[in-house]
Every structure is written in structure tokens, then in C-alpha cells.
């Protein structure tokens, strides 16, 4: 399934490169910054349509915070950086054009702390900063469309599948372009190490996670992680990094910051196991954690998430309560208990639990989100709209937040705002026709000139996206 999805992305990117006027028969020195930005936008549109991304705000928000902390230490960068987590158990991470960095949950699941996550993110950021992606894309334009398709398929698929595609395409003679070169990797290691330490982490974290990636245990049965093939030379790089870290002056090294942020990291990692990993493997992990004092609460928390996913609601409530008894200070566990009561239809208990979470952390977005949805069900529409709006201000990417805001404003007869929120929701869902309808309705009901101007801007952007989608569909035919 993943391979088929990535083929669709491949076709999309190739069509865009040719339709945008980029020659695939003539070599260019490089892609300009603007070219790379446009390619990045198109690539992201394809990814959002084809790959299964994790949208859990606790997971995505955490990874984004770590990534942005590294970006903040860059002296200059050409693109705004965005970080995504792909719902795949494969051990991989990659940087797409124009600062879009993707990491599979499988890679995060083998990490021990935040420093290892920061190390991989720093390495991928270094690829973007060095413009390795742009250089590879520019070199690929020397090939014809068929060869470019094979080359890009290999890049995005990686591993044996990518190699097979390369061998069967006209790109076989230029397979050196498939992945990052050793020189690219060494440059990104050097820069990544510098970025990592500037953000306050210890260089040892880089060595640890790279050593894990190179362990022979990952190669059993021939299942070599994609990361090892798309980022070559891991054993040699581990040795180089270890020597570099050991010989660097103490003053230039960061700290074991990842260990200091252990609670935040393991809460996020528990969400991945409990919410997305295969049930048998997740249960095995939680049994291991249950035997260790420092992770016992997380074992109960993870089992609660897993049991809720399996619709074992009473068992889920019991597991969350055991986790809370051990760690009453961890607000996310309270919020998940409240969400469980909400899904069970016990709105009074849901409201009580998330209200207690908000006493501990008044701006906790998920708690506000659960409370607002609960109040909608209870008929407390004014309170619901207030809490949902506050949740959106804290975290605008909460799942379906704009849909529920639309419902709340509709019940309050604030039709301009209701339709506007529905327009935002459907645009993010990729339902552009529905988005256009709701923005037009919002414009019709709006009475403020400033509000009309904002709605008109959204409407014109959606109309442009619809026209562009129609042009691309006609070119494919």
C-alpha cells in the first residue's frame, strides 16, 4: 500500500516539474529558491493526499517543538520549516524540498530520549540547509521523463523496492543519483552535529541513534532499514561522529538535554505505541515498561490508549486511572481519560475530568477541545464556542477543530462565522468544492468590511486551488 501511494506522489511531482516549464532534457545549474519552494508546496499537497500522516496534536506538536528549537539556532534559512510524522513502522526519515521534514513513527519508537530525536531532525535540517535536495533534483533534470520517474521512485521508496525500480528504468546508468552521496551525508553530519549542540543537546545523542541504525540486529531476515540505504555509509559515519564528539572541547558540547525532557518524550512515544502500533507489539512494549519504576505509569497510560482503540472502554478507563494514581501531575493522561468518557457518552464525567486538567494547565489545548465538544453535547453552546475558540488559538491543528467551531457558531446563529469555520475545515480535508460553498455563504452573511475582506481572500485561494487541480487533472488525461 505504501509503495502504491508513493508511486502516485512520484507521478504528481513529475507532472508538476514538466508542466511548470522545467525541462527534463536540458541540464540546469540548480533549482532556484523560488523553484524549490514551489516544488515543496506541490510535493506537500501530494503527500497530504497519499501518505497517512499522524495528526495527533501531542505527537506532532512535540516533534515540531524539538525541530523548531533547532531551526531557531540557525543563522539563516531560506524556508520555513515544517515537521511531520508518517504512520509507518519503517525506520526512515527524509527531507522533502523547501524545508518539509518527515519522520516515520517506527524510527521514533526505537529512540530512548529527546536527544536522539533532535539528532535525526538536525541531520535532516542540514540536508535542507545544504540544498542537497535541490541539487539532486537539478541533476535529475538531465534525464528524460521516464528516467526521472524511475530515479524519483527510487529516492522515495528506498531499499530493495527502490533499487528494483531503478534497475528497470532508464535511470539505471545514473543510479548514483538515487540517494544522498557519502559526501552529502558527511556534510550533513558535520552541520547536524553543530546544530544539535547549538540547540543544547549533547553530540553523544547523535552517535547513539546512528549506532542503533547500524546495528546488525536490524538486518535480520534481510530487512535492512530504508534509512541505511537512503543515507549511506552508516558504520563509517558512526566511527567518525564518535571520534569527533570525544575530541571536541567540552565548552562546545551541549548537555544531555534529552534526559531532562524525558516525561515529554515518553508521553509522545506512548501515544505512538498506544495509538498506532500493532496491538501485539504495543502490548509487549507496555509489559516491558511495567517492570520499570520510571515507566510503569506510561505502561498503564499506553494500555489505556490501546484498549480504547480496541473499544475495550471499561478496561481503558481502569488503565488510565492506574496511570493517574502513579502520575497525577501529567495532564495529558487526565485529558485522555476525559476523551474516553466522552466517547462512552458519559459527558458529566468527561467534563469533570478535563476541568480538573485545566486547573493544572489552563491553556492545555486538548483539554479545552474535549471540554468544548462535551459542552456541545450538553447543550452549553456559548461555553462550548468559547472553549473551542480558545483551543484553536492555542493549537489550530487539532483534528476537526474548525468543524466543531462551525457547529457551535451555527447553533448560536452566527452564520458568517459558522460557514467560515466549515470552509476552513473542508479546505484542510481537501474537499475544495465544499470549502468554496461555505466561504461563499460566509461572505453572503458577513456584515463587517474587514471580515468580508478576510473571507474573500480565503475564497479566492480556494478558487485558485480548484482551477489548478482541474488543470493538472486534464494534463494527466
Tell how strand 100-104 and strand 82-86 pair up.
Answer: parallel
How far from the centroid of its chain's Cα atoms is residue 476's Cα? 29
Helix/strand/coil for 79: coil
Residue 91 lies in a domain: yes
Q: Rounded to an integer, what distance in angstroms lies between the CA atom of residue 411 and that of residue 174? A: 61
Q: Rounded to an integer, what distance in angstroms lies between the CA atom of residue 170 and that of residue 407? A: 53
Residue 207 lies in a domain: yes
Residue 130 lies in a domain: yes
Q: What are residue 102's DSSP bridge partners?
A: 84, 94
**Cβ–Cβ under 8 Å, residues 391 and 402:** no
Residue 270 lies in a domain: no
The reported pLDDT for the residue numbered 10 is 46
Tens-digit pLDDT string for the chain (477 aa): 444 444 444 444 444 444 444 443 333 446 788 877 877 777 776 666 667 889 898 999 999 999 999 999 999 988 899 999 989 888 888 887 789 899 989 999 999 999 999 999 999 999 899 887 766 666 655 544 344 434 443 444 444 444 554 455 444 444 444 455 667 778 888 999 999 999 999 999 999 998 887 764 444 444 445 555 555 566 777 777 888 888 776 655 666 665 668 899 999 999 999 999 999 999 999 999 999 999 999 999 999 999 999 999 999 999 999 999 999 999 999 999 999 999 999 999 999 999 999 999 999 999 999 999 999 999 999 999 999 999 999 999 898 999 999 999 999 999 999 999 999 999 998 899 999 999 999 999 999 999 999 999 999 999 998 998 888 777 766
Which element (helix H / strand E) includes 471?
helix 449-476
Q: Rounded to an integer, what distance in angstroms lies between the CA atom of residue 88 and that of residue 128? A: 22
The reported pLDDT for the residue numbered 452 is 96
Residue 105 lies in a domain: yes
Which element (helix H / strand E) includes 278?
none
Measured CA to CA in angstroms, residue 331 lies from 295, 315, 366 at distances of 16, 20, 10
What predicted TM-score, i.e. pTM, was given to this entire model?
0.82
**Cβ–Cβ under 8 Å, residues 121 and 84:** no
The reported pLDDT for the residue numbered 253 is 60
Residue 419 lies in a domain: no
Contacts of 101 (CB under 8 A, 6+ apart): 67, 81, 82, 83, 84, 93, 94, 95, 121, 124, 125, 128
The reported pLDDT for the residue numbered 138 is 62
Indicate the number of domains in the chain: 1
Q: From edge to edge, which strands make up the β-sheet containing 82-86?
A: 82-86, 100-104, 93-96
The reported pLDDT for the residue numbered 47 is 66
Residue 290 lies in a domain: no
Residues spanned by the domain of 182: 2-252
Q: Rounded to an integer, what distance in angstroms lies between the CA atom of residue 315 and that of residue 100? A: 39
Burial class (CB in 10 A: 0-12, 13-18, 19+), 477: exposed
The reported pLDDT for the residue numbered 133 is 72
The reported pLDDT for the residue numbered 430 is 86
**Cβ–Cβ under 8 Å, residues 57 and 115:** no
The reported pLDDT for the residue numbered 243 is 83
Amino acid at each position: 500500500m505504501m509503495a502504491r501511494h508513493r508511486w502516485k506522489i512520484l507521478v504528481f511531482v513529475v507532472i508538476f516539474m514538466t508542466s511548470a516549464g522545467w525541462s527534463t532534457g536540458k541540464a540546469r545549474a540548480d533549482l532556484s529558491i523560488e523553484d524549490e519552494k514551489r516544488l515543496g508546496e506541490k510535493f506537500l499537497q501530494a503527500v497530504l493526499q497519499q501518505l497517512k500522516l499522524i495528526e495527533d496534536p501531542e505527537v506532532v506538536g512535540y516533534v515540531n517543538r524539538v525541530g523548531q528549537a533547532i531551526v531557531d539556532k540557525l543563522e539563516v534559512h531560506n524556508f520555513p520549516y515544517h515537521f511531520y510524522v508518517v504512520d509507518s513502522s519503517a525506520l526512515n526519515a527524509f527531507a522533502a524540498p523547501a524545508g518539509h521534514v518527515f519522520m516515520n513513527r517506527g524510527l521514533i519508537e526505537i529512540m530512548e530520549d529527546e536527544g536522539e530525536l533532535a539528532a535525526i531532525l538536525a541531520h535532516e535540517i542540514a540536508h535542507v540547509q545544504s540544498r542537497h535536495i535541490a541539487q539532486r533534483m537539478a541533476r535529475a533534470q538531465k534525464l528524460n521523463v521516464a528516467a526521472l520517474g524511475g530515479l524519483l521512485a527510487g529516492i522515495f521508496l528506498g531499499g530493495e523496492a527502490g533499487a528494483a525500480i531503478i534497475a528497470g528504468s532508464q535511470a539505471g546508468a545514473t543510479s548514483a543519483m538515487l540517494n544522498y552521496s557519502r559526501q552529502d551525508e558527511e556534510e550533513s553530519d558535520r552541520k547536524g552535529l553543530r546544530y544539535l549542540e547549538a540547540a543544547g543537546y549533547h553530540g553523544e545523542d547523535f552517535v547513539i541513534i546512528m549506532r542503533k541504525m547500524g546495528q546488525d540486529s536490524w538486518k535480520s531476515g534481510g530487512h535492512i532499514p530504508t534509512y541505511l540505504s537512503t543515507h549511506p555509509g552508516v558504520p563509517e559515519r558512526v566511527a567518525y561522529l564518535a571520534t569527533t564528539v570525544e575530541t571536541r572541547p567540552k565548552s562546545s558540547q551541549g548537555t544531555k538535554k534529552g534526559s531532562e525532557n524525558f516525561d515529554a518524550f515518553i508521553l509522545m512515544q506512548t501515544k505512538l505505541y498506544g495509538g498506532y502500533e500493532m496491538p501485539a507489539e504495543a502490548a509487549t512494549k507496555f509489559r516491558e515498561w511495567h517492570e520499570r519504576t520510571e515507566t510503569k505509569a506510561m505502561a498503564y497510560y499506553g494500555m489505556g490508549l490501546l484498549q480504547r482503540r480496541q473499544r475495550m472502554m471499561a478496561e481503558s478507563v481502569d488503565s488510565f486511572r492506574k496511570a493517574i494514581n502513579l502520575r497525577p501531575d501529567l495532564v495529558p493522561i487526565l485529558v485522555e481519560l476525559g476523551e474516553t468518557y466522552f466517547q462512552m457518552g458519559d459527558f458529566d464525567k468527561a467534563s469533570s475530568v478535563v476541568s480538573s486538567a485545566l486547573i493544572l494547565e489552563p491553556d492545555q489545548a486538548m483539554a479545552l477541545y474535549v471540554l468544548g465538544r462535551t459542552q456541545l453535547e450538553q447543550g452549553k453552546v456559548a461555553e462550548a464556542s468559547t472553549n473551542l475558540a480558545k483551543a484553536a488559538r492555542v493549537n489550530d491543528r487539532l483534528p476537526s477543530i474548525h468543524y466543531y467551531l462551525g457547529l457551535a457558531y451555527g447553533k448560536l446563529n452566527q452564520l458568517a462565522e459558522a460557514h467560515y469555520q466549515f470552509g476552513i475545515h473542508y479546505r484542510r480535508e481537501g474537499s475544495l468544492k465544499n470549502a468554496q460553498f461555505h466561504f461563499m455563504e460566509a461572505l453572503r452573511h458577513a456584515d463587517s468590511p474587514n471580515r468580508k475582506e478576510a473571507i474573500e481572500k480565503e475564497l479566492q485561494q480556494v478558487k485558485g486551488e480548484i482551477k489548478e487541480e482541474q488543470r493538472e487533472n486534464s494534463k494527466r488525461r
